[in-house]
Amino acid sequence: MTAIWLLLLHMLLLGSAPPLVRHVRLHMADWPAGAAPMRIALLSDFHVAMPGDSATHLAHVVESVNGSHPDLVLLAGDFLSTGTLFVKSADVRDAIAPLAAFHAPSGVFAVLGNHDEGARAALQAALATSRVALLHNAAVRRGPLTIVGIDGVLTARSRMRAPFSGFSHLAGPKLVFTHTPDNVPQVDRSFRLLLAGHTHCGQIAPWPIGPILTASATGRRYACGVIREPDRLTIVTAGLGTSSLPVRLGATPDYWLIDLGR
């Protein structure tokens, strides 16, 4: 019985623990000669709620990210906590307010997640107040990099060609960031770098079994971390917060620093 209580305590503490910082350096063949490298911070699944994943906790994470001096910050959705037991969800404005403290000279961009759909209008207003640009199936160019942001779930039938048609032909490096990795198989193959969250790396992923559930139609294919395929690379973050239950096991919260250059 003592072991069970200790395991439960560990899971509760890990659920709201400070995130690991995962770092990858990618050398992109189409990065323009002479263009300065860029550092991207990827964060997702904030699920701001009290007591663990509070706005204060998020403010500390923002401070940590700023200390790494990113050029660009990408926020891959699920800012809110819905349908979660034993916690109190934060007000939309309280959940978003800490994001205003990000320092990134090339900007802070966001897409929405499935937990955000019920408060889309309020989130749009709060993000704008916090100087976070929402990309709803749209693209921007920052330096040599084209960034496409997709929210919602793509389907084989729609494939959301609009975000890709005007940018897939452009020379130079491109990336797509989206909330769920379910979109990865549908993304135009000209995009070689894809960033996502949503899975929480399983949230409950005991060794040696691994993720019990990933909340993804692709199962474990894009469950966590760096996924290398012959023609592209996908990075899936474990996210910061929790969903359904405020616990984690074997799936530590994290965010990613991605250095892109020639």
Q: Which domain CATH number covers 203?
A: 3.60.21.10
Contacts of residue 11, Cβ cutoff 8 Å, sequence gap at least 6:
247, 248, 249
Residue 82 has a pLDDT of 85
Over residues 176-226, the pLDDT tens digits come to 999 999 999 988 888 999 999 999 999 999 888 888 889 888 889 999 999
Question: Can you tell me the distance from the alpha carbon of 46 to that of 242, in angstroms, rounded to the nearest whole number?
Answer: 8
Q: Return the number of other C-beta atoms located less than 10 Å from residue 197's C-beta.
A: 31
Over residues 130-181, the pLDDT tens digits come to 999 999 888 899 999 999 999 877 755 445 555 666 666 666 799 999 999 9
At which residue do the structure tokens 């050029």 appear? 71
Tokens (6 digits) for 2: 């003592």
Handedness of CA 136, 15, 22, 187 (dihedral sign): negative
Q: How many structural domains are present in the chain?
A: 1
Length of the chain: 262
The whole domain housing 21 covers: 2-261
pTM of the model: 0.94
Tokens (6 digits) for 52: 């663990």
Question: Can you tell me the distance from the alpha carbon of 133 to that of 108, in angstroms, rounded to the nearest whole number?
Answer: 6
